[in-house]
Chains A and B, each alone.
Chain A
Amino acid sequence: MSSLFAADEAGRLLDAAIKGEMPDERGRFGPFGGRYVPETLVPAFERLEAGVRQHLHDAEFQATFQRELREWVGRPTALTFAAQLSKAWGAEVWIKREDLAHTGAHKINNAIGQALLAKRLGAKRVIAETGAGQHGVASAAACARVGLPCSVYMGAVDMERQAPNVDRMQRLGAEVVAVESGDKTLRAAIDEALRAWVTDPDGIYYLLGSAVGAHPYPYLVRELQTVIGKEARQQMLDQAGGLPDVAFACVGGGSNAIGLFHPLLGDDIELIGVEAGGTGDGLGQNAATLATGTPGVLQGSYTIILQDDDGQVQETHSISAGLDYSGVGPEHALLQAVGRVQYISARDDEALEALEELCATEGILTALETSHAYAAAREYAKRNPGKRILIGNSGRGDKDMPTLTQYPARTRRHDSA
């Protein structure tokens, strides 16, 4: 993809991204992004865009948002030095602990921000989609907090593998709508949420959970998630005494990765996004969109997608529901195309191994999504000894227990102690 632009054009686009001039007024990140939505939703998107422009950086909105992040979400989240992991890897490993945020993942940053926006825009109710369930739980909690009814669309396959989160959403007052159409995972859930939105574009606020979809969502979600990278950058300076050599984050739609990476784009830090390598390289065996996909339009955005020669979107596989998506946020497509961020993948089994290692060495049960970032960081550390590594720990793994119980733990520290 790096051959997409001439070198000077790539440099110009990257500069614009670093300066925060992306997306442009048409919602474009270079060639990527835009707004490909049904005509019925065009006025709703225009209202949302105007609302974002008016409120998002308004002092009063920001004061409320920052207070909620501090007092309700529990920010700033910790930066943890991983002493034993560092020793095992021959590196200096630091972990940005989004698992410690309220409801257990970075998703809450975006959910509370958009719920506050929905309230300001006078929405009657909120709808959301969810894959792993983390965004659904975050949306349910945020809607309860601001006092708006919430319906969460969730693929039937995901409801099964993330059962504890279904119960959590319902207890938090949300209605969970099972999606039986399409691939019955995140992509089908987004399609179904869009269909629901079309029935009442005036009354419904669609609380999209990742930095994907039509403009202004990739921008809005990024702006609400960059708190991760801003905090981590300062904490590295304060606690580690300097910036990292390299930063890793897992990428499904890419909201935690853009949140961590965006504030670091202008620094001399290698940035590596890690997608789901699933069980292998074949079409349908993974969700390594940026590694193996091609440009196309999916769910409102021109980005890199997994598709066949006829432009039919392909189903994906990943052990982690949160990475199991055929598209990726358009800003990631740009950052790959200009060569600023490298996107690689880790397989299911590598993620599982990394999850166990982190449990054993640091006492942190991380999410299966996040485990992909650890797996890739471990490989990197082997090839590049002595580096200072920052890992975005996007969420905690409690929700993954139904999946994990199918894989007997291989690492038992108390046996060898």
Chain B
Amino acid sequence: MTAHEKLSAAIRAANEAGRTALVPFITAGYPEPKDFIAILKDVASVGDVVELGIPFSDPMADGMTIQRSSFIALQKGVSLKWIFEQLDSVKGEIDAPLVMMSYLNPLLAFGYEALAERALAAGVCGFIVPDLPFEESEDLRDALDARGIGLIQLVTPATPDERLKTLCDASRGFVYAVTITGITGGEEGLPGNLAAYLDKVSSFSEIPVCAGFGIREAADVTAVGKHANGAIVGSALVEVLENGGDARQFLTGLRHTA
């Protein structure tokens, strides 16, 4: 099984067990770099796939919560190199497959070939790159493809049908369906026409669809779970960590149907 197939399989396994796959997002090294592995193990014990945010100086698609966590992690010296070293130290100990969410420039600075090689060694199965549209993605996609690592495409309610088809076909591991027209961490909740949108994305995609942005509580997970394979929880989880809360307890709570 290639790395990206592990992602799809983990999500489908959750569905087959009668659950909506849960994909928790954490900013790597936040709030304290020394707690990174402990937090990762915690969230991986509940999550089906774990999304690791790579801190960046200009997180233009993120709201205040993730911006804050990103700046603090950077201030405390977190870098992509450091994250890979940390992952090496626990290889084989974390069951949930990992994806990295990174803006493009840190990946560009690392070098695509070196990145793909390093990611494979560290057990990273996929990448989400919010400022890399499909049209500009060929070089990174080629480097990742050669190692079976997935480049996960985002789709949004603003995506026209023809483009939606292209993006769903290109995506590997899962399709990341952004639920709202906006940035992460919004307070508005999920939009009313969510079901039709997610059903459409699911009908276009041959791989699992995970919905993200604005998912904050168990009722949200239940709502998207009816129309998508998985739910991605980012800002709400980062807020729990920010407030010194228990990530495992919060995520377990999301599993309980409201």
Contact = CB atoms under 8 A, between A and B. Distances in A.
Interface of A: 26, 34-40, 42-44, 181-182, 187, 191, 194-195, 198-202, 296-300, 305, 307, 309-314
A38 B135 contact: no
Interface string B159-188: 110010001000000000010011100000
B60 A191 contact: yes
Contacts of A39: 130, 133, 153-156, 159, 167, 178
Nearest to B63: A195
Nearest to A295: B108
Contacts of A40: 61, 156, 158, 178, 181-182
B9 interface: no
B105 A43 contact: no
Contacts of B131: 36-38, 297, 300
Interface stretch (B73-81, B197-205, B225-233, B250-258): B73-81
A309 B77 CA distance: 13
B81 A200 contact: no
Given A40-B158, A296-B105, A307-B105, A313 B178 contact: no
B159 A43 contact: yes
B104 A198 contact: no
B190 interface: no
A49 B13 CA distance: 43
Nearest to B55: A312
B58 A298 contact: yes
Contacts of B155: 39
A38 B136 CA distance: 12
B61 A307 contact: no
Contact of A312 (B56, B104, B107, B153): B56
A305 B108 CA distance: 13
A296 B60 contact: no
B64 interface: yes
Interface in B103-126: 104-110
A40 to B, nearest CB: 4
Nearest first, the 6 closest Cβ-Cβ pairs linking A and B are: A311-B109, A311-B106, A311-B105, A313-B57, A39-B154, A38-B61
Contacts of A187: 58
**Most chain B Cβ neighbours within 10 Å, of A44, A181, A299, A311:** A311
B182 A199 contact: yes
B57 to A, nearest CB: 4
Interface in B49-103: 56-61, 63-64, 67, 71, 74, 79-81
A127 to B, nearest CB: 14
Contacts of A194: 60
Contacts of A298: 58, 105
Contacts of B181: 40, 198-201
A36 B136 contact: yes
Contacts of B109: 296, 307, 309-311
B186 to A, nearest CB: 8
B60 A297 contact: no
B37 interface: no
B183 A34 contact: no
A36 B133 contact: yes
Contacts of B158: 40, 42-44, 201-202
8 contacts: A35-B133, A39-B156, A194-B60, A199-B181, A201-B181, A296-B108, A311-B109, A312-B106
B132 interface: yes
B174 to A, nearest CB: 15
A43 B158 CA distance: 7
Contacts of B71: 182
A312 B136 contact: no
A297 B109 CA distance: 10
A299 B132 CA distance: 11
A195 B182 CA distance: 7
**Most chain A Cβ neighbours within 10 Å, of B155, B158, B178, B181:** B158
A305 B61 CA distance: 20
Nearest to B186: A199
A36 B60 CA distance: 11
A132 to B, nearest CB: 20
Contacts of A38: 60-61, 130-131, 154
Given A195-B183, A201-B181, A298-B105, A36 B56 contact: no
A299 B57 CA distance: 11
A310 B106 contact: yes
B58 A37 contact: no
Contacts of B167: 39
A142 to B, nearest CB: 25
A181 B60 CA distance: 11
B57 A36 contact: no
B19 to A, nearest CB: 27
Contacts of A299: 58, 60
A310 B80 contact: yes
Contacts of A201: 158, 181
**Most chain A Cβ neighbours within 10 Å, of B107, B159, B182:** B182
A297 B135 contact: no
Given A35-B136, A310-B79, A198 B183 contact: yes
A182 B57 contact: yes
B182 A311 contact: no
